[in-house]
Amino acid sequence: MLSTSITNVFTPKARIRLMGIGDEIRRAREARGLSQRQLGKKVGISQAAIQKIEDGDTKRSRYLPDIRRLVGLGESDREVPVVGYVGASAEAHYYADAQGPLDEVPAPPGATAQTVAVEVRGTSLGELFNGWLVFYDEVRSPITEELIGQLCVVGLPDGRVLVKKIKRSKTAGFYHLYSQTSEGTITDVEVEWGARVKHMAPRF
């Protein structure tokens, strides 16, 4: 399990841009002056296997903890709870009821005592993110100004828990919730609570 920082989820061309584990490993490896072949030799795998991990082609590998340790990224020494699932599309995912904690995963960089994770269900952020983990803390109820225009985990009065970009509606007290794809957009809804997404990561 590893964590990544969000750099720009919603872009003008509706493309998703994240720094993934492969990018983290490549940058850390190069900073230490190691070639892919040298790193692979230390781990006991081929240069091609290292390249696949850095290119994001390998989604699961039992060698990741060793690779991260060897390039100085390390592994988190504490964990945060996975408290449930979060919808990424517009359909009704009533995830507020009977949620976790379901599991524990290594804490992302900068995690606080309030940091938790949820698992994305749905493809409106892009097919890549179905099954990813979303980390957040500092839940705001009601919505506060710093959440406007940000990708957030939000809770709706009907029990839906979603990951959306929040924008104000012209109707007082209501919001528009945007996804990467148009079919995931929800307009003019009340939002009971929200929390800015701090990190996203594939679930290994």
Residues in Cβ contact with 65 at an 8 Å cutoff, skipping those fewer than 6 apart: 75
Q: What is the CATH number of domain 4-70?
A: 1.10.260.40
Helix (H, G, I), strand (E, B) or coil at 8: strand
Please tell me the pTM assigned to this model: 0.62
Reported as a single tens digit per residue, the pLDDT across 63-122 is: 887 888 888 776 545 788 888 888 766 554 544 444 556 788 888 877 788 889 988 887
Q: Which ranges in the chain belong to alpha helices (H)?
A: 21-31, 36-43, 47-55, 64-70
Q: Where along the chain do the CATH 1.10.260.40 domains lie? A: 4-70
pLDDT digits (tens, 9 = 90+) for 31-60: 889 999 999 999 999 999 999 888 877 756
The CATH class given to the 79-201 domain equals mainly beta
Residue 22's nearest CA partner among 72, 76, 64 is 64
Give residues with Cβ within 8 angstroms of 42, minimum separation 6.
Answer: 34, 70
Out of 109-118, 129-138, 169-178, which region has the weakest mean confidence (pLDDT)? 109-118
Tell the burial category of 114 from Cβ atoms under 10 Å away from its Cβ (0-12, 13-18, 19+): exposed
Please list, in sequence order, all residues whose beta carbon lies within 8 angstroms of the beta carbon of residue 123, skipping any fewer than 6 positions away: 88, 89, 129, 130, 181
The residue-averaged pLDDT of 138-162 equals 92
Which of the four pLDDT bands, split at 50, 70 and 90, describes residue 25?
confident
Where do you find CATH 2.10.109.10 in the chain?
79-201
Task: Identify the residue whose tokens are 């940000």.
Answer: 150
